[in-house]
Structure 1
Amino acid sequence: MSPDATVDQVVRFVDLAGVLANAVLGGIAARTARLDVVGFVVLAILSGLGGGMIRDALLQAGPVVALTDPLYLVMALIGAGIAFIIPFRGRMPRLVLALLDALSLGCWANVGAQKTLDLGLTVIPALLMGALTAVGGSTVRDVMLNKKPAIFGGNTLSATSALLSSAITVGFYAVNSQWLGSIAAIVSATALSLLARRFDWGLPTEVHPARRAKQASTWLRGWWSGIGNRGRTGDHEQDRQDAPHRPSTVDDPKEQST
């Protein structure tokens, strides 16, 4: 078996495992929102298959893969059923889900970028489709729940990890080494996502240049006035030291009496 075929099988396995893991995450979100069975199924499908469905619809390169390959939809339904039965309150189940989520993030970004390049599109669309494939499902799920999408703030750096995976895929695709690029993209994105989750990494939220400039100018004025105050204070100290040695300008009372 050729290395490309082996990598394709591994990628497909990770892809399906990612569908299952993200479908379970969608079901957990439905449980948190206290939805019924229909809510579990809808959020599981959107979370597990939403990114790939949006990608295939935008690329217009044939039918949506999630609809032509029944195993994808089956895995999403299994994930919904698992989340409906099991509450996933233990530490170990959540760690396994976090690992599968990170793996699927890198895998989906790699698959999305590679499919875009196979269609003859350029680097920018490949990066966009890779990131959209990876985070599209979770974004749609959060919007359906009227929540701020996790890609706009969080400690997993989902969008950053997806862009990293897409960029590595594009780089290795340019040198005609897709199988090595798939491995490097998945491992790098998974590592970055897990490290961000472990050490609570995040991106900057906002910058206040006007306030910083005001603070700098206030400090400068205070520094400059401090020099002036020290100078004036030094002059007063010198005057007090020189005062006993200066001749008195008041007449002596004894001389006035004589």
Structure 2
Amino acid sequence: MSSIDPSAFFNVVDVTGVVANGLLGGAVARAYRFDAVGFAMLGIVSGLGGGVIRDVLLGNGFPVALTNPAYLSGALIASAAAYLLVLGGKWTGRLLILADLLAVGCWAATGTVKSLAVGLGPLACVLIGVLTAIGGGILRDVLVAKIPAVFGDGPLYATIALIGAIEMFVLARFDLPNWGMTASIVTCAGLGLLARRRGWRLPGAAQWEVRLPARYAGTLRRPGTRQRH
């Protein structure tokens, strides 16, 4: 009996994530009443943006989104589906969220291991892993002039991508990339669902106040005021 190749499962999760994020981009396009071009652009950016950012930063030739027809086709099909169908209903939303969170782990791990393969250090590998996972959503929100949701307007998202990227980096260093990918996918999906259920968010900025001595107070320039000479 031949051993099961886990890469086939990872590829399914990868493409499923592209489709799910294409649908989420289409849902945003519908909310803003975009035309068909707007649906296609938001679907492509949402589904493929993170991977394109990764490949451009790593300089590994053409982005995989352009060389693998499954990615671009999946994003366009998802955009067309969102254009033609109203994606409502509780279970539809839950399935999209699950597929998205599975993709977060997959993309965080992929970005990390590809960065490790070109010889980048730990921080750079983890950073590119996180950017791979959240880059598409950031670009989508920027295109509609909206503050990206990963900046705090929702449950934990970038944080779980960070955890998945760290898991992948550690396990890949022990020559266990398949286990790293599996751990990242499972952890990100589990923590993501739990964060949404519990409403977990990162705390806001601290409110500590630093007071300078009076002789230095006049050297600080306040917004909207002119400094006198």
Q: Radius of gyration: which is bigger?
A: 1
Q: How far did residue 157 of structure 1 move?
A: 1.2
Alignment of 1:113-152 (within 5 A): 113-152=112-151
Report the Cα distance in structure 2 between the residues aligned to 1:134 and 1:117, rounded to whole angstroms.
16
Amino acid at match of 1:120: G
Alignment of 1:163-242 (within 5 A): 163-210=162-209
Q: Secondary structure at the match of 1:209?
A: coil
Flag the structure with higher helix content.
1
Amino acid at match of 1:130: G
Tell me what 2:64 maps to: 65
Amino acid at match of 2:157: S
Amino acid at match of 2:99: L
Alignment of 1:14-33 (within 5 A): 14-33=13-32
The C-alpha deviation readout for 1:143-172, integer Å capped at 9, x for no partner, is 000001011013331110110010000110
Tell me what 1:232 maps to: none
Q: How far did residue 2 of structure 1 move?
A: 4.8
Mapped contact 1:155–1:196 kept (Cα < 8 A) = no
Q: Secondary structure at the match of 2:46?
A: helix
Structure 1 pair 12–91 and aligned structure 2 pair: CA distance change class (3 A): same
Report the Cα distance in structure 1 between the residues aligned to 2:153 and 2:65, rounded to whole angstroms.
28
Q: How far did residue 174 of structure 1 move?
A: 1.2
Report the Cα distance in structure 2 between the residues aligned to 1:10 and 1:174, rounded to whole angstroms.
22
Identity %: 43
Mapped contact 1:51–1:137 kept (Cα < 8 A) = yes
1:34 lines up with 2:33 in the alignment: yes
Mapped contact 1:25–1:47 kept (Cα < 8 A) = yes
Report the Cα distance in structure 2 between the residues aligned to 1:10 and 1:116, rounded to whole angstroms.
21
Mapped contact 1:24–1:83 kept (Cα < 8 A) = yes
Amino acid at match of 1:133: T
Q: Secondary structure at the match of 1:207?
A: coil
Report the Cα distance in structure 2 between the residues aligned to 1:203 and 1:68, rounded to whole angstroms.
37
Amino acid at match of 1:195: L
Tell me what 2:154 maps to: 155
Report the Cα distance in structure 2 between the residues aligned to 1:146 and 1:183, rounded to whole angstroms.
35
TM-score (norm 2): 0.89
Q: Secondary structure at the match of 2:209?
A: helix
TM-score (norm 1): 0.79
Tell me what 2:49 maps to: 50
- Gap runs ≥5 in structure 2: 211-229
Report the Cα distance in structure 2 between the residues aligned to 1:210 and 1:86, rounded to whole angstroms.
52
Report the Cα distance in structure 1 between the residues aligned to 2:45 and 2:137, rounded to whole angstroms.
7
Amino acid at match of 1:16: V
RMSD across aligned positions (CA): 1.2
Alignment of 1:97-112 (within 5 A): 97-112=96-111
Q: Secondary structure at the match of 2:97?
A: helix
Q: Secondary structure at the match of 2:193?
A: helix
Q: How far did residue 19 of structure 1 move?
A: 0.0
Amino acid at match of 2:196: R
Superposed structure 1 runs of 4+ greater than 2 Å apart: none
Mapped contact 1:156–1:194 kept (Cα < 8 A) = no
